[in-house]
Amino acid sequence: MPRKTSTARLVESPGRFFEDFRLDEVIRHATPRTLTEGDASLYTALTGSRHAQWSSQPLARALGLRARPLHDLLVFNTAFGKTVPDISLNAVANLGYAEVRFLAPVYPGDTLRCESVVIGLRPNSNGRSGVVYVRSTAYRDDDAAVLSWVRWVMVHRRQPQAPMAPGASGSEHVPRLASHVPVDRLALHDAPRPGAALDDWCEATGSQALWDDYAPGDRILHPGGITVEEADHMTATRLYQNTARVHFDGHGMAGSPLGRRLVYGGHVISVCHALSYDGLENVRGLAAINAGSHVAPTLAGDTLYAVTEVLDRWKLPGRADMGALRLRLLGLKNLHPAHLPGLREPSAEPPSEPPLETPLAQHPAVVLDLDYTALMPRRPGTRADA
């Protein structure tokens, strides 16, 4: 065979820069991933997840599901990981996400693939970076969409440009995003169930507290705490095939401003959600994430705690057996929520919009501020007003 000696080259994979994104461009992300019982076990072992529909096959079947589904956040993190090499390898920062909708259950054996559409581009006035907005969708191998979400990231330019004049806007395309996923856009995964099964369910979860028992303004102090280790968060992040170097490359990060590996935010969400079991035992699954931000970095050695504030409570059209709770999950580091100032004096007035700037969320111990919508069974006696 003739050798192509003249083509000897150096191959590098630098990832996409701000100039590489085009509005309305569709990006198909690499490497579909078959999720299995093995991934479910690892998710439990790495996060401490205990919610019943993900823990027990018979209980999942009693809900009308064909099997025990994979944890919603395992699906979210796996789908998110697929987008990293194309979207955020050169990201300066993950700025936020919105309109995250859990559309259909994913079962062991299903294969996820993922694509994104560029829905917004906003160059920064400093000429060195810009913000990219993408709407991503994950599909099962039967082509059913299982998850849809918007996120926006700040990405470096390959070639810096001259800073813009003050007031100049460049060619901006900033999408309008909903403040939250409305109740009529929530997908319900399980079938309506006869009331009798509710007793079995509550015995399985160990709690009688149902949708009816939570009210806006309630604050739930979750008692547990979990210290994060480097091995833990890297193992979780590799499980999701997320390749962002900030989570793995300790040598490279030693020279960064942070000086350390950064714990993947999706792992922080998963751990804090697992901690939220105590006090929210009957959460049936996530229906939406309305908004979320990683307020401060989590590093190995930090101990995570969680507190939940009930933001709102919605009935679901056509479902007398189940309702939705809009919840605000705050992740804290190195401060047990029992010691959070102001926690024991809930505001008399429930918030009409998520109180993103309340003193509670501004505490320096807060690392995660997640506004999500969960489903929970309703008490049969209250169904008359459904």
Site for a copy of itself in 359-378 (CB under 8 A): none
User: 221: which strand partners?
Assistant: 307
Closest approach of a copy of itself to the CB of residue 313, in Å = 6
Helix 72-87 and helix 265-275: axis angle, to 10°? 170
Closest approach of a copy of itself to the CB of residue 177, in Å = 25
Name the one range near a copy of itself by CB under 8 A: 97-105, 144-152, 239-247, 284-292. Answer: 239-247
Closest approach of a copy of itself to the CB of residue 213, in Å = 9
270 binds a copy of itself (CB under 8 A): no
Choosing from 16, 222, 267, 284, the residue that interacts with a copy of itself (CB under 8 A) is 222
Choosing from 72, 99, 190, 232, the residue that interacts with a copy of itself (CB under 8 A) is 232
66 binds a copy of itself (CB under 8 A): no
**Which residues within the stretch 306-335 sit at the binding site for a copy of itself (CB under 8 A)?**
313-315, 334-335
Of 181, 121, 190, residue with least CA distance to 157 = 121
The residue count for binding a copy of itself (CB under 8 A) is 105
Closest approach of a copy of itself to the CB of residue 284, in Å = 14
Phi/psi for 53 (5° steps) reads -65, -25
Other CB atoms closer than 10 Å to residue 215's CB: what's the count? Answer: 11
**Which residues within the stretch 143-202 sit at the binding site for a copy of itself (CB under 8 A)?**
none
40 binds a copy of itself (CB under 8 A): yes
20 binds a copy of itself (CB under 8 A): no
286 binds a copy of itself (CB under 8 A): no
221 binds a copy of itself (CB under 8 A): yes
Question: In terms of CB distance, is 310 or 370 closer to a copy of itself?
Answer: 310
Question: In terms of CB distance, is 61 or 173 closer to a copy of itself?
Answer: 61
Report d(CA 244, CA 222) in Å as an integer.
Answer: 30
292 binds a copy of itself (CB under 8 A): no
CB 206 within 8 A of CB 281: yes
Question: In terms of CB distance, is 188 or 253 closer to a copy of itself?
Answer: 253
User: 312: which strand partners?
Assistant: 326
287 binds a copy of itself (CB under 8 A): no
384 binds a copy of itself (CB under 8 A): no
Q: How many CA atoms lie within 13 A of 61 on its CB side?
A: 4
Report d(CA 4, CA 17) in Å as an integer.
Answer: 31
Residue 258 CB partners (closer than 8 Å, separation 6+): 246, 297, 299
CA 355 vs. chain centroid, Å, equals 19
Name the one range near a copy of itself by CB under 8 A: 11-19, 130-138, 147-155, 290-298. Answer: 11-19
Is the backbone of residue 14 left (phi > 0), alpha (psi -120 to 50) or beta? alpha
Residue 23 is given by DSSP the state: T
Report d(CA 177, CA 384) in Å as an integer.
Answer: 35
Choosing from 96, 127, 195, 346, the residue that interacts with a copy of itself (CB under 8 A) is 346
- Compute CA distances 149 → 80, 221, 233, 346, 350, whole Å: 9, 29, 23, 32, 28
Closest approach of a copy of itself to the CB of residue 310, in Å = 8
Q: Which two tokens stand for residue 1?
A: 């065979």
48 binds a copy of itself (CB under 8 A): yes
- Compute CA distances 251 → 89, 231, 254, whole Å: 17, 15, 5
The contact mask relative to a copy of itself for 78-117 (x = CB under 8 A, - = no) is -------xx---------------------xx-x-x----
Report d(CA 53, CA 56) in Å as an integer.
Answer: 6
Closest approach of a copy of itself to the CB of residue 242, in Å = 9
Choosing from 127, 216, 297, 380, the residue that interacts with a copy of itself (CB under 8 A) is 216
Closest approach of a copy of itself to the CB of residue 31, in Å = 5
CA 149 vs. chain centroid, Å, equals 9
235 binds a copy of itself (CB under 8 A): yes
Q: Which two tokens stand for residue 330?
A: 């705050």
In the block, tokens 């009798």 appear at: 196
Name the one range near a copy of itself by CB under 8 A: 55-63, 95-103, 116-124, 366-374. Answer: 55-63
303 binds a copy of itself (CB under 8 A): yes
